Chains A and B, each alone.
Chain A
Amino acid sequence: MPGSGVIIAVESLSKTYASGVRSLESVSLEIRRGEILALLGPNGAGKTTLINIVCGIVKPTSGSVRVDGHDVVRDYRAARKLIGLVPQELSTDAFESVWSTVRFSRGLFGKPDDSAHLERVLRDLSLWEKKDAKIMTLSGGMKRRVLIAKALAHEPRILFLDEPTAGVDVNLRRDMWAMVRKLRESGVTIILTTHYIEEAQEMADRIGIINKAKLLFLEDKTQLMRKLGKKELAMQLQKPLAAVPEALANRKLTLGDGGNSLIYTYDSNVADTGIAGLLDEVERAGIVFTDLRSRESSLEDIFIDLVKERS
């Protein structure tokens, strides 16, 4: 696997905690070198457990994980050297300075002191001015940046971001997105979990959806949206309807906006969407519309549909 297109290979990975909670059930996936992979899923779906097993924080019940060809259990040193982790919780050494905690992280991962690299990381994250400040004096957003700086201190080739923008303001979120893109340009593989579907839609090359310990889907983002995405055509009616007229019963129509709009859902990938015929039928049925609007389903719609469907 070293040098190949796959940097992380997860095979039949399962985890059942001592409490009996099954957090992962035979999950297999391959993460490509240099990509941004977003893992979506509701709380407790198993995203963090998956990350924690790859990073060595949680022991797998069965299955295997290889990072650049190194088994994360047997050859943990080589595997972990490649990985940086930004955890979900804001766990910091509250009484330490930003500089000392970042320097500690670099040493812990087996790298010699390199003040120039640490300065670069802190400057990129707008933390340089705060390098001597105690972490406890920083805002939540700044603490989040410190965690990212710690994860980047040893120049990892793979970066796990476990809900990196949870609870941060819009500006900081945009800054982080820019930073993630910059890292990807430098060849770093990025795996992020997020609750913000907008974030996955904006950033990811591929999207994985995890629910109830299972990987439901792992697809290229554009393919996923093309395959599962739907389009809607909404007709704004002159007079509200109480129900979809009998004459249009064979169409996929619903009423919206309290009967003031008629919504047609169709597959945009097929040659004949049926829109032309529908408009004729609507006219014949004596329905007058004042406006027409079309909307493509977002990743959020797809996510909600998928999770509902497989629950």
Chain B
Amino acid sequence: MNLYAIRAIYRFEMARTFRTVTQSIVAPVLTTSLYFVVFGSAIGGRVGGIEGVSYGAFIIPGLVMLSMLSESISNGSFGIYLPKWSGTIYELLSAPVAPIEVIIGYVGAAASKSLMLGVLMLATARFFVPYEIHHPFWMLGFLVLTAITASTFGFIIGIWADSFQKLQIIPVLVVTPLTFLGGSFYSISMLPPIWQKITLANPVVYLVNGFRWSFYGVSDFAVGTSFAVILTILALCFALIWRIFVTGYKLKA
């Protein structure tokens, strides 16, 4: 294992985050805080609770998950797309690094940034809405696993994309709608029966519900189901990346 290479990639990527701290950290925390203020404090006070949890507190796990997904995908895709775009990918391809080391470096850095954001968002939410965490270890587990899975998915997008426009297509046209329709702001039991069934095809529903369960012990599914879905997505992402490196897809001529 080329540990020095993993450290080099990780350090390089994290340095970029801290160099662009406003864009990387301040902006997403501020945006999510606005959600907490508007939906949590202002509107939430006038909306009844869901499954025994105040509306303001109910949406916190969903909002954090929504931001984490979006940021993880963005970080994961940008990290590998940037050297492709600038041409510096030649160095990565000619270095004595195995695919797994490249993935650990890039995905590790992207997930670390997202985790930092997740923790910051949770801390910020505390200023606006009171909430509890019933199962802190599960909460941490969901947070870490979601950050890794979404960053890995982002990494695939970064390899696939050959323009900045393509880099945005899947996050904007697929991931954002899925996260908004993934039960961040509501319980799926509130939907008409047909939509409840359709929603089951949305993987984000399982992430949000699992995460919410770790806070309040309430969920539309068993926590094991949520965990299994995340692990399955992660396994699929890894299988795809493995295939990409074996074939050299979009990386090697």
Binding site for B on A (CB under 8 A): 17-18, 52, 55-59, 76-81, 83, 85, 87, 89, 91-96, 100, 103-112, 150
In B1-41, the 8 Å CB interface with A consists of: 2, 4-5, 7-9, 11-12, 15-16, 19
A-B contact pairs, 29 of them (CB 8 A): A55-B90, A55-B93, A57-B90, A58-B253, A59-B248, A59-B253, A77-B2, A77-B98, A81-B96, A83-B94, A87-B87, A91-B86, A91-B88, A92-B88, A93-B86, A94-B86, A95-B16, A104-B9, A105-B8, A107-B7, A107-B8, A108-B4, A108-B5, A108-B91, A108-B95, A108-B97, A110-B95, A110-B96, A112-B4
Q: Which of B71-118 contact A (CB under 8 A)?
A: 83, 86-88, 90-98
Contact of B92 among A58, A76, A108 (CB under 8 A): A108
Nearest to A78 among chain B residues (CB) is B96
CB-defined contacts of B253 to chain A, threshold 8 Å:
17-18, 52, 57-59
B-chain residues with CB within 8 Å of residue A96 when the two chains form the complex: 12, 15
Chain B neighbourhood of A109, CB < 8 A: 4-5, 95-96
Shortest CB–CB separation between residue B186 and chain A, in angstroms?
Answer: 41
Would B87 and A89 count as touching, CB distance under 8 A? yes
A77 CA / B97 CA spacing, docked (Å):
7
**B8–A103 touching, CB < 8 Å:** yes
Determine the residue in chain A with the shortest Cβ distance to B92. A108
Number of chain B residues close to chain A: CB under 8 A = 27
Most chain A CB within a 10 A radius of its CB, from B11, B87, B96: B96
* Closest chain B residue to A89, Cβ basis: B87
Please, what's the 1-or-0 string for B42-68, where 1 marks a CB less than 8 Å from any CB in chain A? 000000000000000000000000000
Q: Is the pair B94, A77 in contact by a Cβ cutoff of 8 Å?
A: no
Assembly CA distance A112 to B8 (angstroms): 10
B82 smallest CB distance to A (angstroms): 8
Closest to A80 in B: B96
CB contacts (< 8 Å) of B15 on chain A: these are: 96, 100
Q: Are B5 and A110 in contact (CB under 8 A)?
A: yes
* Inter-chain contacts of B94 with A (CB < 8 A): 55-57, 80, 83, 85
Report how far A85 CA is from B89 CA in the complex, Å: 12
Counting from the closest, the 5 A-B pairs by CB-CB distance are A107-B8, A91-B87, A55-B94, A80-B96, A77-B96
CA gap between A83 and B95 in the complex, in Å? 9
A176 to chain B, nearest CB (A): 20
Cα of A91 to Cα of B85 in the assembled complex, Å:
10
Contact in complex: B252, A58 (CB < 8 Å) = yes
Closest to A112 in B: B4
Distance between Cα atoms of A91 and B5 in the complex (Å): 20
List of B residues within 8 angstroms of A81 by Cβ: 96
Distance in angstroms from A272 CB to nearest chain B CB is 53
Interchain CA distance A109-B101 in the complex, whole Å: 12
- How many whole Å from A74's CB to the nearest CB in chain B? 13
Contact with A along B148-166 (1 / 0, CB 8 A): 0000000000000000000
Q: B90 and A87: CB pair below 8 A?
A: yes
Centre residue among A78, A89, A93, A103 by max chain B CB count within 10 A? A93
Bound Cα distance from A108 to B13, whole angstroms: 13
* Further contacts, 7 of them, CB under 8 A, given A55-B94, A93-B86, A104-B12: A57-B93, A59-B253, A91-B88, A96-B15, A100-B12, A103-B8, A112-B4
Pick from A59, A85, A95, A110: contact of B252, CB below 8 A. Answer: A59
Chain B: minimal CB distance from A162 (Å) = 10
Say whether B88 contacts A110, CB under 8 Å.
no
Instruction: Say how far B13's CB is from chain A's closest CB, in angstroms.
Output: 10
Central interface residue in A85, A91, A95, by most chain B CB within 10 Å: A91
